[in-house]
Each structure stands twice: as C-alpha cells, then as structure tokens.
Amino acid sequence: MKLATLPDGSRDGWLVVVSRDLKGAASAGKLAQSMQEALDGWDEIHADLQALYEDLNLGKAAGSFRFDPKVALAPLPRAYQWLDASAFLSHGVLMQRALGLEVSPQVDAKPLMYQGGSDDFLGPCAPACFPSEAHGIDFEGEFGVILADTPMGVSAEAAEASIRLVVQLNDWSLRGLAKREMASGFGFLQAKPSTAFAPVAVTPDELGPAWVDGRIKLPLNVTWNGETFGNPDGGKMDYRFGQLIAHAAATRRLRAGTILGTGTVSNADAEAVGSACVSERRALDAIAGREPTAFLRYGDRVRMEALGPDGQALFGAIDQVVSA
C-alpha cells in the first residue's frame, strides 16, 4: 500500500491512497483524515485502507483523481518524534575525518542516534530555504521507517513488527554549524534544518525482494544540478532496522508516528558508487588529495529517487531547489 498527504489548509493535511504506479489517488478521508490518525488507528482501518488501495489499482476506486507529487506534503507533515541514526559505519568514519574529529570506533557495538526537530517537515518539491550559503549547505539522502506504538525494552527480533511504513528522505544539514554542536556534547540543533520527504510512504510489502533482513536493498539515486552524484545501496546498513528500533526503545516506549531514519546511505566503495551527501565526497577528496567539492549554493537543485526491482519509482522523487 502507498499513502501520501495532500494540502487542505490544515497543518496535518489530507490523507490519500496512491496507486502503485504513483499516477492516481483516492481520498482516505472516510477512514482517517490524516496520516497520524491512520497510524493511531492502524489495526482497525488497515484492512479497509488496503481494500481501497487494491480498488484504486484496478481503476475501481470511486472519486479517484490524478496524483500530483509536486503539491504533496511530507507523508507526515509534522511528527511526535524524529530519530536519526548512523547505520552505515563507513559514513561515520568519513564524516569524522571531514569534520577534523578523531576517528573513534564504536567499541560498544551500539548505533549512534540523535533526536531531531519534527515539527516542520518539507514536502518533496518545496523550496529548501537556508539563511546563508556560508553555513555549508549539504544534503543527506536516507531511508526511514514510521512506527506503531512500540514497547520499552522491545527486542531487536520483535521490533520490526512495529514498522508500519517505509519512507525516503533528505536530511538537510548545515556543515559549518555542525562541528561546534557535535563537540558541545548536546547534539544538533541549528545544524539540522527541516528534513524533506519523498511524496509517498509505503508498507514494507511494497518493496518486494528489496526488503531483506530488515534492510532496504535499493540504490538511492542522487543527482545534483542534473549530474549523477551517487547511487549507494541502502541494503548495506551495518544495523538492521530492528536493532535501531530496539536501541531507541531501550529506556522508553515509542508512540505511533515516530519516524526513524537510517542516516546517510553510504557504502564502503563510495569512490566507485558515489555518495548521498557532499561532506562524504569532501572526505574522499581529502583522502585522495583532490580539491574539495564545494557545498551547495542558492539555485542548486537536488533530486533523490529510489527505483524498485521493476524500475518504477517506489516513493516518488525528492526534487528541491536551494533557496535563500
């Protein structure tokens, strides 16, 4: 099943079911007005949402209309909680080098994770607005999951049963502000502006064979001003989603609508497959003795898209222009 949120003048938008080919949509308003309402009542309405989805794909859904991803909001325009991990260890090492920090292995084998701002997510084609180019504007292509109510102390083996939806996102970052915030020990605030999401959230079964061992085994295709920047494989996460969820829920329960990201998709052979963020490329530049790749400037366009095994877009594309 595929779900999206369209604008209706409210903060949380209007929930619609989207066809598998992303061309059509039908209102889910009789079942749930918003994505959060659907997540809160998932067990009661899931079967009806699925039936509406199947009717839409067969061309039988009453009142269906053309889906326009350009006007879509983030699937959850605001969420109770947004957690972002660093599930690709190769990225963490490269980022420590890029920021001039001491490279320290994760000796306790626990994933790194921070809690970000979740009150103002961006739609897939909304302008990405920043106060200054001097802050080091960077994109970070990721995958993520949206959870149901998850109990405190859940095991990694049981945790994946809490996954309701899978999403694709761009965790915008301001690298010029990140080093001081990381060194402070309090974590990110100003260095992490609003995160953008692809237009459609999907149930794990929509991934088919790409949903493997709690990982999304798909390349994330990233272009910058029309030029290919990277297509790293999301299936090479060092931690599966169950481990990330269990880490987040170790000392507290997680409520329905919690979004958990993978961190930047990164592969050990980044020189060959490219990267999903500029800072990783800059770290590779430094290692290779090249001139560092510049950060983004106003007017730059970034596009991110994940294609399924059949070559069709699964989530739709994030396609944003950097703006003042």
- Please report the pLDDT score of residue 101 as a whole number: 66
Domain hosting residue 8, numbered range: 2-67
CATH number of the domain that 162 lies in?
A: 3.90.850.10
Q: Are residues 30 and 148 in the same domain?
A: no
The domain boundary residue, chosen from 67, 96, 115: 67
Beta bridge pairs of residue 313: 307
Question: Per-residue confidence at 104, pLDDT binned at 50, 70, 90?
Answer: low
Instruction: Identify whether residues 16 and 123 lie together within a single domain.
Output: no
Q: Are the beta carbons of 231 and 222 closer than 8 angstroms?
A: yes
Give per-residue pLDDT as tens, 109-123. 789 999 999 999 999
Domains identified in the chain, total number: 2
For residue 108, pLDDT over 70 is answered with: no
Q: Are strands 24-27 and 65-66 parallel, antiparallel or unpaired?
A: antiparallel
* Phi and psi, residue 130, nearest 5°: -135, 150
Predicted confidence (pLDDT) per residue in 187-196, tens digit? 788 889 999 9
Is the pLDDT reported for residue 92 higher than 90?
Answer: no
In a domain, 72, yes or no: no
Examine the pLDDT at 107 and tell me if it is beyond 60: no
User: Is 75 part of any domain?
Assistant: no
Residue 76 lies in a domain: no
49 and 123 share one domain: no
